[in-house]
Amino acid sequence: MFSSKYVLNDLIKDKNFQYINHHFAYKIFQDKNSNNGELMCININNQSKVKFQYNKIFISCGPISSAMLILRSKLIDKKEILLKESQRFYIPIFLKNKPSFNYEINKNTLPEIFFEIYNNAISNQSIHLQLYSFSEIMLKPFEKIMGNYANSLPKILPFVFNNIFVLLGYMHSKDSNSLNIKYEGTFEDISNYTLSPLNSIDTKKIVIDLLNLLRKELNFFIINSTFLNNSKTGSSYHYGGSFPMTNKTNIENSTNLKGKLNNYENIYITDQSVLPEMPGAPTTFNAMINAARIANDM
Ligand SMILES: Cc1cc2nc3c(=O)[nH]c(=O)nc-3n(C[C@H](O)[C@H](O)[C@H](O)COP(=O)(O)OP(=O)(O)OC[C@H]3O[C@@H](n4cnc5c(N)ncnc54)[C@H](O)[C@@H]3O)c2cc1C
C-alpha cells in the first residue's frame, strides 16, 4: 500500500529540503502585488507562534482545511466556498445463490471485487462499487444481543455468512449533493466555521435504480432497507472541487492548470481542492498524481 511517508523519507535525504513538522498553518499574509509572503504557524507541541517567509507557497491541507486557511487569511473576498462531494452508500445484501468464487471466512478484510457501472438510464457518470465479503464487522449487531458468542456464528451458520455481502458505492459529484463551507471568525479563531449540506439531488433514487439493475446480474435481497437512507451529504470523506482548475480567470476561488490561485502569482493549491469534479471512484490516486504533476512542472 502507498504511504506518503516513503516519499517524505526520500525527500528528507535531499540537503535542499527541510521538513518542519508539528506546525499548524493558520494564516497567510499575502499582498496581491508582491512576490513574497508570510505564513503564520502554531507549533502544536508548545503553542508558540512561528512566522515563515516564502516566495512561493503550496497549500495542501486537504479540501476543508485549505478552504479554511484561505478564508481565514481573507485571500478571497468570498466568505463561503462550495465543496463538491462524491457521495457514498453501503447496503448489506444476501446472495441467494452460492457465490461461485472462493474466499475464506475470517481471512478477508479487504474488498473482494471492484467494479464500475456505466449505465445512462441511471446516470451519465460512472458509479464505483466495491463488494465486500464477510468481515468481523458484520457480527457487531449480533454481539449486542449475544456477546462473544456471536463470533462462533459464521462457523455454525456458514451457509448464511458465506452469502452476506456489503455493497459499497461512490457516486460522481454531478450525481451528489454539495457542502457549503463558511468561516465567520477572526483569523485567530480556527474553529468558527460551518459546514452545511446543500441537498438538491435525490441520491436514494440513483441507489435504488442501481440496485434494481444489479439484481438482474446478482440474485440478492437487501438485508435491511434502512441502509438505503445512509447516503448522507458530507459523510463520504471524498471532497474537492472547491478551488477548481480551469482556464477561466474570472472566478475568485479557481486555480489554473498548475494549481495557481487566481489573482495571486505565488500561491498554489496542490491537494484535492483543485480537482474540478469528484469522480465516483477512490480519490486519493487522482489527488496524488495531480500534485506530482504540478511539482514536476515547477
Ligand atoms: C477514514 C477515511 C478513509 C478513506 N479511504 C479512502 C480510500 O480507501 N481510498 C481513497 O482513494 N480515498 C480514501 N479516503 C479519502 C482520502 O483520504 C482523501 O481523499 C485524500 O487523503 C485527500 O488528499 P489531500 O491531499 O487533499 O488531503 P489530506 O490527505 O487530508 O492531507 C492534508 C494534510 O494536511 C494536514 N493539515 C490540515 N490542515 C493543516 C493546517 N492548517 N496546517 C498544517 N497542516 C494541515 C493534515 O494533517 C494532512 O496531513 C478516505 C478518507 C478517510 C477520512
Residue among 5, 41, 271 whose CB has most ligand 1 atoms within 8 A, to mutate? 271
Same domain, 37 and 96: no
Residue 11: per-residue pLDDT? 92
112 CA distance to ligand 1 middle (Å): 24
- C-beta of 276 in contact with ligand 1 (< 6 A): no
Residue 106: per-residue pLDDT? 54
- Over residues 5-20, the mean pLDDT reads 93
Q: Would 183 be classed as within a structural domain?
A: no
Higher-pLDDT residue of 153 and 245 is: 245
Same domain, 26 and 108: no
Residue whose CA is at the smallest distance from ligand 1 atom 3: 237
Same domain, 218 and 141: yes
Residue among 284, 290, 294 whose CB has most ligand 1 atoms within 8 A, to mutate? 284
Same domain, 142 and 265: no
- C-beta of 62 in contact with ligand 1 (< 6 A): yes
Residue 105 confidence (pLDDT) above 60: no
Q: What is the pLDDT of residues 114-143, one digit of tens each?
A: 889 999 999 999 999 998 888 888 888 889
Residue whose CA is at the smallest distance from ligand 1 atom 49: 61
Residue 287: pLDDT band (50, 70, 90) is very high
Residue 107: per-residue pLDDT? 59
Same domain, 92 and 78: no
Q: Would 248 be classed as within a structural domain?
A: yes
- C-beta of 283 in contact with ligand 1 (< 6 A): yes
Same domain, 257 and 134: no
The one-letter amino acid code at 35 reads N
Residue 3: per-residue pLDDT? 82
Residue 250: pLDDT band (50, 70, 90) is confident
Residue 161: pLDDT band (50, 70, 90) is confident
Q: Domain range holding 168?
A: 87-176+200-229
Q: Would 190 be classed as within a structural domain?
A: no
Average pLDDT value for the chain? 90
Domain count, the chain: 2
Residue 101 confidence (pLDDT) above 70: no
Same domain, 274 and 149: no
| Alpha-carbon torsion angle 279, 195, 46, 269, nearest 10 | 40
The residues with which 228 forms a beta bridge, in sequence order, are none
CA distances from 139 to 58, 101, 108, 130 (A): 45, 22, 14, 19
Q: Which atom of ligand 1 is nearest to the CA of 65?
A: 38
Q: What is the DSSP letter of 179?
A: E
Same domain, 158 and 212: yes
pTM: 0.91
Beta-carbon neighbour count of residue 140 at 10 Å? 9
- C-beta of 142 in contact with ligand 1 (< 6 A): no
Q: Would 186 be classed as within a structural domain?
A: no
Q: Which atom of ligand 1 is nearest to the CA of 66?
A: 38
- C-beta of 111 in contact with ligand 1 (< 6 A): no
- Over residues 168-191, the mean pLDDT reads 88
62 CA distance to ligand 1 middle (Å): 6
Q: How far apart are CA 129 and CA 211, in angstroms?
A: 11
Largest CA distance in the chain: 72
Q: Which atom of ligand 1 is nearest to the CA of 272?
A: 26
C-alpha cell at 271: 491537494
Same domain, 64 and 161: no
214: alpha, beta or left? (left if phi > 0; alpha if psi -120 to 50) = alpha
Phi, psi torsion values for 45, nearest 5 degrees: -85, -40
Residue 139: per-residue pLDDT? 86
- Over residues 256-282, the mean pLDDT reads 95
- C-beta of 60 in contact with ligand 1 (< 6 A): yes
Residue whose CA is at the smallest distance from ligand 1 atom 27: 62
Give SS3 for 124.
coil
CA distances from 242 to 2, 81, 180, 199, 257 (A): 25, 6, 10, 17, 14
Q: Which residue has the cell 511517508?
A: 5
Residue 187 confidence (pLDDT) above 80: no
Same domain, 116 and 204: yes
Q: Would 266 be classed as within a structural domain?
A: yes
66 CA distance to ligand 1 middle (Å): 11
CATH code for the domain of 46:
3.50.50.60
Q: What is the pLDDT of residues 27-54, one digit of tens each?
A: 999 998 898 999 999 999 999 999 999 9
